[in-house]
Copies of this chain bind each other. A is one copy, B any other.
Amino acid sequence: MAVYVQKFGGTSVGSVERILAVAKRIANSVAAGNQVVAVVSAMSGETNRLSALGAELSAAPAAREMDVLLSSGEQVTSALLSMALTDLGIKARSYLGSQIKITTDSSHQKARIEHIDPENLLSDLNNGFVPVVAGFQGVNSDGDITTLGRGGSDTTAVAIAVALQAEECQIFTDVDGVYTADPRMVKDARLLETITFEEMLELASLGSKVLSQRSVEFAGKYATPLRVLSSFSNEFPGTLITNEETSMEKPVVSGITYSRDEAKLTLLGVPDIPGVAAKILGPIGRENIEVDMIVQNVGADGMTDFTFTVKREAYDHALNVLEKIKGELGASMVIGDKTIVKVSVVGVGMRSHAGVATIMFDALAEESINILMISTSEIKISIVIAERYMELAVRSIHKAFGLSDKAVSEA
């Protein structure tokens, strides 16, 4: 029998009615002959309620105790879903992280899984039980409760799927899957049937609403098929994330993603000598400012303009740092812009297809959209443009690659 790990997020178990609906979905899967392990998040709102209690008590709550506090949310859901399953005549049993020995390191609130002992789960599955695992939590070598940080329940599900060599790890959420572009922006965006782990990681803005990067990396590392699908609808099979390129001819571009939360800073007239990049980015890094894109243009006069992007909230901080080091570096001026966005096209197909950049740049030129920065990787091309052009840019690139029409996109 095939083992499926099914993970249900906060909104999927956000009420008694939703928990009953999830129980029925699992019951159907069991009736279809599958072995199912369920992994659950805290009911939506519960983690916030608990965090607020902690914050009221202490300005800097002890990390060990925050984990004890927050992990209770998933514990409650695991018990409730087990009750609901039992009521439907499905044998079920809840498990905390400590009970199936999800051992982690001791980094409270962002622990990393070191080992899972699948013995209890396997014995339950073989005896016809549905184990219902409280996500997000583990236990360290001292027996203390740990939590896995943001998206932790996804990580729990993937780790269990890996340990059980499951057929699929299914992440049930409140969206139908991964689209070729944000459906709120591009009316005819298409639901992707499959996508590779690599593409999913690069499609940050599309993907992070759906799945944590960490769980995608984890599943990719062990080649465990990951499926994102809706717990609110039975209509869509969701999006399968695998290593395999299942289509004979993989589309050149799988999806378009964007990020509004960007700002760029430029040091003008920096002497073009070895080590200058480190002299600029060193002080930025020491202030814990994260840098995304970096572009350096070499001028004819032995001077260079050095540009990089940061999160918008870090803009003022980064500007201060640059103003301070400007003199020492011999730069002529610092300029910046907080009204920029990043738009990226992603696809493993572009590895073997020349001309992807041309299609993208042509589409933008046709709309008279000026490109401020360009950065490329093996399976991704990112550009920075003025914020006001974002929707127009995403839509015209989506159209240029024929992403809404499947037949055309199989380039």
Q: Which residues of A contact B (CB under 8 A)?
A: 16, 19-20, 50, 53-54, 56-59, 61-62, 64-66, 68-69, 71-72, 75-76, 78-80, 82-84, 86-87, 92-94, 96, 98-99, 143-145
Q: Report the minimum CB–CB distance from A162 to chain B (whole Å).
A: 23
CA distance in complex: A20, B56 (Å): 10
CA distance in complex: A84, B126 (Å): 45
Contact B58 A68 (CB under 8 A): no
- The 8 Å CB contact of A86, one of B62, B72, B80, B94, is B62
Contact A62 B75 (CB under 8 A): no
Chain B residues whose C-beta falls within 8 Å of the C-beta of A50 in the assembled complex: 76
Q: Report the minimum CB–CB distance from A216 to chain B (whole Å).
A: 30
- Chain A interface, DSSP helix/strand/loop, else mixed: helix
Chain B residues whose C-beta falls within 8 Å of the C-beta of A143 in the assembled complex: 99
| Nearest B-chain residue to A76, judged by Cβ | B72
Contact B68 A84 (CB under 8 A): no
CA distance in complex: A65, B19 (Å): 15
- The 8 Å CB contact of A80, one of B53, B75, B76, is B53
Contact B94 A68 (CB under 8 A): yes
Chain B residues whose C-beta falls within 8 Å of the C-beta of A66 in the assembled complex: 79, 83
Chain B residues whose C-beta falls within 8 Å of the C-beta of A62 in the assembled complex: 82-83, 86, 92
- The 8 Å CB contact of A57, one of B19, B59, B93, B94, is B19
Contact B86 A65 (CB under 8 A): yes
20 residue pairs from A and B, CB less than 8 Å apart: A53-B76, A54-B79, A54-B83, A57-B80, A57-B83, A58-B87, A61-B83, A64-B82, A65-B86, A65-B94, A66-B83, A68-B75, A68-B78, A68-B79, A68-B94, A69-B79, A69-B80, A71-B75, A72-B72, A72-B75
| Nearest B-chain residue to A120, judged by Cβ | B143
| Nearest B-chain residue to A17, judged by Cβ | B56
Chain B residues whose C-beta falls within 8 Å of the C-beta of A83 in the assembled complex: 54, 57-58, 61-62, 65-66, 69
CA distance in complex: A62, B90 (Å): 12
Q: Report the minimum CB–CB distance from A108 to chain B (whole Å).
A: 12
Chain B residues whose C-beta falls within 8 Å of the C-beta of A96 in the assembled complex: 68, 145
Chain B residues whose C-beta falls within 8 Å of the C-beta of A145 in the assembled complex: 96
- The 8 Å CB contact of A76, one of B69, B87, B99, is B69
Contact B72 A84 (CB under 8 A): no
Chain B residues whose C-beta falls within 8 Å of the C-beta of A68 in the assembled complex: 75, 78-79, 82, 94, 96
CA distance in complex: A61, B96 (Å): 18
For the A-B complex with A64-B94, A65-B79 known, give 20 more contacts whose Cβ atoms are closer than 8 Å: A16-B53, A19-B57, A50-B76, A54-B80, A57-B83, A58-B83, A58-B86, A62-B82, A62-B92, A64-B82, A66-B79, A66-B83, A68-B78, A68-B79, A69-B80, A72-B72, A72-B75, A72-B79, A75-B75, A99-B143
